[in-house]
Structure 1
Amino acid sequence: MRKLKLIAGMVFRKNFRSFSWWSLVLTPLLAVAIIGGIKWYMNQTHETATVVVVAPQSIGASLHAASNDDVTYKVVPTSKRGQKELKAKDADALLVIPNSGAASAKLYTRDDGNNVSKTAITTTLSGLNTISTAQKLGLSSAQLAQLTKPTRLSSKSVSFKANKMVIASGKSDTLKTILSLAVGALMYVFLLSYGGIISQEIATEKGSRIEESILTAIRASTQFYGKLLGVAALLAVQLGFYAVFAALAWMLRDHVPAISQLINGINWGAIGWPFVLSMLAFFAIGIISYTILAALCGSLVSNQEQAGMALQPVLYLGMIGYFAAINVSSGSGPILKVFSYIPFISPLVMPARFGVDQVGISAVLIAVIINVIFLAGFTWFSARAYRANVLVYSDSGLMNAFKKSLTLSKHTK
């Protein structure tokens, strides 16, 4: 146990002091800060557009009453007066409505003025025209209210289980899909980073030929698990940093406008704890699985220059899983269903499918159990293979080195 902690501590301290690990930690925080800052700046610099209106008195009054945070309607008596205000840059657009009503109108926008939404103005004028037409036809207030009453459209997500349509919860699938893809992208960055750390550690030791000296004092399996434990500690510290910053952001949400706008812009009630917990479980399983794979591949190369070769299986499997997760929103085909339960790919695909209600919580639990069982067996196999080939130096490629490793591991006690 003491030697295990010694190896883990050496791996942890070496990488904790490195610039590359701190850049990995700070980059996501910097990205969130930039997004929040941009959103805050856009809200701070947003200016309400001013539209001067030349129209019959009733229409002008209705438009003035329809002013909001995006546009303010200001009634002027003549087009000449409106053009004067445009020239003086006191208005951003001139809206001219003839005496015949709001069925037709002309909008003149200033090139260097604030943005004026033509769609919003058209919608407002259409509503006024409908009211004016109804009044001309002699419709009562009740009939007019019925005519202008908006259509109520309810939307529900459905899934099919045992050839029966089942109504899913009314939570936002879009938000959960975006979140699952964001976590998948973060997982992809993490697996490449931590896979690179452990493969680089092993390849460097093999290339410097110090493994022979290390293994005279420490068993290969102890060294293998120590390196994994050190990398796991680094990951735990990184996630701990994020938890601390998240807690600080939550406490400061009422004092910092940028944080408040970022937090309030997310519909937290549309996510749900089952989805959050499943993502966390698959995130941990995925990072650990890919790190062990990187350690196994790192033991197959002969020197530090080949460390990039050791990351190729991690890179390809991660790409397959992430691109499959991106296509989940387009439908659930047989390939995606199979991918949902295949180790290495499942941690990226299953959360996305769960987010859009293609699968239920029972399927998620089955996938977690499959991944955990595989992870236990794969860890045992990787430790045995590491012990067999950590002192083997071959330049014949990963596949040939892996075949040789399998042969050696059968004769290794």
Structure 2
Amino acid sequence: MSKFMTVMMHTYRSKIKSKPFLISTLITIALLFVVTNMNEITKMFGGDEESKVAVIDKTGNTLPALQEQFKTAGADLKAEVYTKSEKDAEQSVLDGELDGLLIIDKDASGMITGSYKAEDVTNQDLITDIEMALQQIKNKAAAESIGLNQEQLAAIYLPVSFDKESLSETAKSEEEAAQVYILVYVLLFFMYMAVMMYGSMIAVEVATEKSSRVMEILISSVSPVKQMFGKIFGIVLIALTQLALFVAAGFAAVQLNGKLSGSESIIEELKLNEIPVPLIVYALIFFILGFFLYATLFAMIGSLISRVEEVNNIMTPVVIVIVAAFMIAMYGRENPESAFVAGASYFPLFTPMLMLLRVGMLSLPVWEVALGIGVLIAAIGLFAVIGARVYRGGVLMYGNAPSLKLFKQAILLSKQEKKDTTGL
């Protein structure tokens, strides 16, 4: 146990103190604060100034209604009549004096038409505000032309009354479903990124030591099994440390955004702080078990290659599986009751993401959740046994091109090495 702890803590300390780890962690935390508070940061640099749009109203009476629509909708836009020529207005736009030029006219049937000109048309928010305002004016004019008053027009656009009721006593409410939807999406993304980032870290760690020929010394003092799992647990500690920092930073960034904007944070608005504790516990269980499952695979892969440059080549099949699991999970978010998603959730390499999805989105019986956890534990045990054998032989193999044939060679070499060690 002492040798296992030595390998684990050495892996943890060496990575946690490395400059790439510290720099990537600080950059990610900074990005969390920037992205979360982007609106407030934009305002600090004058991003809240009104957009200035010149209007050439060829109808002669549409501009006041347009301005009223902007005011009602709360659009951050100032529209004023332009008395000079259209060419002059276009030049003012190019010179930066105006954000855009709107020309209002009527078609052959007498309906309002609009033509918007700007230096570029990438500001979709501004264009949408103008288009919606003109649409409202057109709707009103069309209603008046057939004799409808404002009350009748409002009745036409009044949303249909539509009630939703779950007949099952265990079904989630609409509010709970929204909370879980966000949580599941975040956790799926975290799991995907964690496996991709830290799994490759394990493979690179093993490949680096092997390429430096330190492995023969380590194997003689620490058993391959203890060494492999020492590295896996060390990387798991690193992952949990970094993810805990990201979660804490994200929470602080959201709270800061709420204070700066003077409104409720998204956590309070969506009541994410009221997410059931069992769901959080299940999320942690599937996250940790899933990470261990893939970590074992990556450690085994790392032992089969001789150079760090070969890591990406031999990792490709595992990465494809991870991407496939993530894509099925994205499909399952909209169709959690799908028989395909249910069946795929019991395939060990898909179980962490898909079972987490189903637990969050559906009210599963306890035995299904227990079966999913059992499948994961059994798969981890199987991969650990196979991985330990491949690791024992793989770390002593050099100069081979990465291929699936190396698995068989590594296992055979492991048996031979074990016989030599035991003297049998």
* 1:291 and 2:295 aligned: yes
**Maintained 8 Å contact 2:348/2:379:** yes
* 1:150 and 2:158 aligned: yes
The SS at the match of 1:323 is helix
Q: Which residue of 2 aligns with 1:36?
A: 36
* 1:18 and 2:25 aligned: no
**Maintained 8 Å contact 1:203/1:304:** yes
Unaligned runs of 5+ in 1: none
Q: Which residue of 2 aligns with 1:346?
A: 351
Tell me the CA shift for residue 155 of structure 1: 6.6
Aligned positions, number:
393
Matches within 5 A, 1:1-12: 1-12=1-12
Give 2:73's match in structure 1, choosing from 68, 71, 77.
Answer: 68
Distance in structure 2 (CA, Å) of the matches to 1:265 and 1:42: 23
* 1:36 counterpart letter in structure 2: T
* 1:379 and 2:369 aligned: no
**Maintained 8 Å contact 1:49/1:71:** no
Distance in structure 2 (CA, Å) of the matches to 1:107 and 1:217: 79
Give 2:224's match in structure 1, choosing from 198, 220, 224.
Answer: 220
Q: Which residue of 2 aligns with 1:267?
A: 270
Greater shift, 308-317 or 168-177, is seen at 168-177
Cα gap change, 1:372/1:123 in structure 2, threshold over 3 Å: closer, same or farther? Answer: farther
Cα gap change, 1:50/1:172 in structure 2, threshold over 3 Å: closer, same or farther? Answer: farther
Tell me the CA shift for residue 294 of structure 1: 0.8
Give 2:332's match in structure 1, choosing from 314, 328, 334.
Answer: 328
Distance in structure 2 (CA, Å) of the matches to 1:402 and 1:125: 70
Q: TM-score by structure 2 length? A: 0.71
Structure 1, residues 64-106: CA drift from partner, whole Å, max 9, x if none?
Answer: 79633117798x9xxxx764699698996465799xxx97335
* 1:45 counterpart letter in structure 2: D
* 1:395 and 2:403 aligned: no
Distance in structure 2 (CA, Å) of the matches to 1:247 and 1:395: 47
**Maintained 8 Å contact 2:172/2:362:** no
Distance in structure 1 (CA, Å) of the matches to 2:65 and 2:212: 83
* 1:230 and 2:234 aligned: yes
* 1:8 counterpart letter in structure 2: M
**Maintained 8 Å contact 1:394/1:401:** no
Q: Which residue of 2 aligns with 1:55?
A: 61
Q: TM-score by structure 1 length? A: 0.72
Structure 1, residues 150-194: CA drift from partner, whole Å, max 9, x if none?
Answer: 1324375989xxxx9x97531486886676455434433322332
**Maintained 8 Å contact 1:97/1:105:** yes
Unaligned runs of 5+ in 2: none
Greater shift, 215-224 or 377-386, is seen at 377-386
Percent of residue pairs bearing the same amino acid type? 19
Q: Which residue of 2 aligns with 1:368?
A: 373
* 1:9 counterpart letter in structure 2: M
Tell me the CA shift for residue 265 of structure 1: 10
Give 1:169's match in structure 2, choosing from 169, 173, 191.
Answer: 173
Matches within 5 A, 1:88-237: 93=102, 104-107=111-114, 109=116, 111=118, 115=127, 116-127=129-140, 130=143, 134=147, 144=152, 147-148=155-156, 150-154=158-162, 156=164, 169-171=173-175, 180-181=184-185, 183-237=187-241
Cα gap change, 1:50/1:396 in structure 2, threshold over 3 Å: closer, same or farther? Answer: closer
Structure 1, residues 354-378: CA drift from partner, whole Å, max 9, x if none?
Answer: 56x4673644453233213322443
Greater shift, 345-354 or 7-16, is seen at 345-354
* 1:319 counterpart letter in structure 2: V
Tell me the CA shift for residue 311 of structure 1: 2.6
Distance in structure 1 (CA, Å) of the matches to 2:5 and 2:348: 29
Greater shift, 324-333 or 1-10, is seen at 324-333
Cα gap change, 1:270/1:351 in structure 2, threshold over 3 Å: closer, same or farther? Answer: farther
Cα gap change, 1:409/1:69 in structure 2, threshold over 3 Å: closer, same or farther? Answer: same
Distance in structure 2 (CA, Å) of the matches to 1:61 and 1:323: 45
